[in-house]
């Protein structure tokens, strides 16, 4: 993942110069490879026999063998479990780890994957560790773009953004990553996954490995039928339920963007929706699309307030349907 190189280089230089940052906040889009990057940095930091100037661990020393066996006692990962939030007892465990002596390496590395999922109590507990850093611990906090981290935490970290790779680099990496799959997804499927992942290659792999694309196909087909008036809003909404509300919103947001793009003379990025949006583009003024985008945004806000996701999906589907010329709508 060549787009991770600048951040890795940052740590390599810090190592060479003997001034490791105490706490770093690695930020980037979901699925861009932040976790893999943090694990590589951790391996680099604990390795005993890294060649000077090298940005890779030796792979052979005792430390590297422990890393390979995923049993290095001086590297710890803290991540949300079922609750989707980092719990305060996880932060307490991290704090204890931070002040204890390293067991086998010269340094301890704590990865907090995802610092944007700390509630206020957990964040405050973490703050103590950030304020009184032990000399032999490196904290790697990971943050997903668009998810806020408390300013008090952020200000105590070196912020290191991971750029989303360009389309060419992402496509090449994805193809290489999937090359030995049996059967390997075809290039159209790979391109679609990458598009739905917002260009983040690791997330694209996750989507290809999960049932997401199949569920998306089902939802898309139901959407097409609904727009033609062939099925009811309830039947269409059922197809979206499997996806979950957030993915539904992302999908609809992508389609609305495609509609705006086509209206402006461009091409739809999601080939599955191209025909529908081309038709809608000829039948609607641009402000109707803006209305739709606003409705999707409202729905995203409503989600935070625990509004029924089913009702929100119904509401958005009806909004989409209003873009169909009356003649077509009456046919359903």
Q: What is the nearest approach in angstroms of Zn ion to the Cβ of residue 114? A: 28
If one asks whether residue 43 binds Zn ion (CB under 5 A), the answer comes out as no
Among residues 8, 14, 58, 247, the one that binds Zn ion under rule CB under 5 A: 58
Among residues 44, 47, 174, 280, the one that binds Zn ion under rule CB under 5 A: 47
If one asks whether residue 107 binds Zn ion (CB under 5 A), the answer comes out as no
Q: How many residues bind Zn ion (CB under 5 A)?
A: 6
Stretch that binds Zn ion, among 55-63, 87-95, 268-276, 305-313 (CB under 5 A): 55-63
Stretch that binds Zn ion, among 7-15, 39-47, 133-141, 310-318 (CB under 5 A): 39-47
State which residue, 47 or 277, has the beta carbon closest to Zn ion. 47
Residues 21, 140: contact at Cβ < 8 Å?
A: no
Cα–Cα dist 22/131, whole Å: 10
If one asks whether residue 61 binds Zn ion (CB under 5 A), the answer comes out as yes
Question: What torsion, rounded to 10 degrees, do the Cα atoms 246, 151, 156, 42 define?
Answer: 0
Among residues 1, 26, 64, 86, the one that binds Zn ion under rule CB under 5 A: 64
If one asks whether residue 57 binds Zn ion (CB under 5 A), the answer comes out as yes
β-pair partners for 283: none
Q: What is the nearest approach in angstroms of Zn ion to the Cβ of residue 47? A: 3
Cα R_g (the chain), whole angstroms? 23
Q: Closest Cα to residue 38, out of 25, 51, 29? A: 25
State which residue, 65 or 128, has the beta carbon closest to Zn ion. 65
Residues 264, 295: contact at Cβ < 8 Å?
A: no
Stretch that binds Zn ion, among 27-35, 56-64, 182-190, 299-307 (CB under 5 A): 56-64
Q: What is the nearest approach in angstroms of Zn ion to the Cβ of residue 121? A: 38
State which residue, 67 or 323, has the beta carbon closest to Zn ion. 67
Contacts 24+ apart (CB under 8 A), 5-14: 5/55, 6/163, 7/37, 7/41, 7/160, 7/162, 8/37, 8/40, 8/41, 8/44, 8/55, 9/55, 10/160, 11/41, 11/44, 11/45, 12/44, 12/53, 12/54, 12/55
If one asks whether residue 100 binds Zn ion (CB under 5 A), the answer comes out as no
Q: Identify each DSSP E strand in 12-146 by its residue range.
A: 23-28, 75-78, 108-113, 137-144
Q: What is the nearest approach in angstroms of Zn ion to the Cβ of residue 67? A: 8
Residue with tokens 């792999």: 205
Q: Which of residues 123-182 bind Zn ion (CB under 5 A)?
A: none
Stretch that binds Zn ion, among 62-70, 260-268, 274-282, 303-311 (CB under 5 A): 62-70
CA 330, chain centre distance (Å) = 41
State which residue, 138 or 323, has the beta carbon closest to Zn ion. 138
β-pair partners for 23: 139
State which residue, 72 or 245, has the beta carbon closest to Zn ion. 72
How many other β-carbons are positioned within 10 Å of the β-carbon of residue 70?
A: 9
Q: What is the nearest approach in angstroms of Zn ion to the Cβ of residue 48? A: 5
Q: Closest Cα to residue 321, out of 208, 228, 230? A: 228
Stretch that binds Zn ion, among 4-12, 42-50, 258-266, 273-281 (CB under 5 A): 42-50
State which residue, 42 or 110, has the beta carbon closest to Zn ion. 42
If one asks whether residue 46 binds Zn ion (CB under 5 A), the answer comes out as no
Q: Which residues contact Zn ion by CB under 5 A?
A: 47, 49, 57-58, 61, 64
């Amino acid at each position: 993942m060549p787009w991770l190189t600048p951040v890795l280089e940052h740590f390599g230089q810090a190592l060479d110069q003997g001034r490791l940052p105490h706490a770093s906040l690695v930020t980037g889009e979901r699925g861009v490879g932040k976790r893999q990057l943090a694990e590589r940095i951790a391996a680099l930091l604990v390795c005993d026999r890294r060649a000077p100037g090298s940005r890779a661990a030796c792979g052979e020393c005792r430390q590297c063998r422990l890393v390979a066996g995923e049993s290095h006692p001086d590297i710890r990962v803290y991540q949300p479990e079922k609750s989707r939030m980092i719990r305060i007892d996880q932060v307490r465990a991290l704090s204890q780890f931070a002040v204890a002596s390293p067991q086998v390496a010269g340094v301890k590395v704590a990865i907090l994957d995802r610092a944007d999922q700390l509630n206020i109590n957990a964040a405050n507990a973490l703050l103590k560790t950030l304020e009184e850093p032990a000399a032999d611990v490196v904290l790697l906090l990971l943050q997903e773009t668009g998810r806020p981290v408390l300013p008090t935490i952020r200000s105590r970290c070196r912020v290191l953004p991971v750029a989303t790779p360009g389309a060419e680099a992402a496509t090449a990496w994805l193809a290489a990553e999937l090359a030995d799959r049996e059967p390997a997804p075809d290039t159209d499927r790979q391109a679609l996954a990458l598009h739905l992942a917002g260009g983040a290659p690791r997330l694209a792999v996750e989507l290809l490995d999960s049932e997401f694309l199949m569920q998306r196909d089902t939802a898309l087909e139901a959407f097409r039928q609904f727009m033609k008036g062939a099925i009811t809003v309830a039947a269409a909404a059922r197809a979206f339920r499997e996806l979950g509300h957030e993915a539904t919103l992302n999908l609809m947001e992508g389609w609305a963007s495609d509609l705006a793009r086509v209206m402006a003379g461009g091409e739809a990025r999601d080939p599955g929706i191209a025909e529908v949006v081309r038709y809608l583009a000829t039948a609607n003024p641009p402000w109707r699309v803006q209305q739709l985008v606003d409705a999707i945004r409202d729905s995203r806000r409503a989600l935070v307030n625990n509004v029924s996701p089913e009702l929100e999906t119904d509401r958005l589907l009806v909004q989409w349907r209003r873009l169909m010329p009356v003649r077509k709508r009456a046919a359903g």
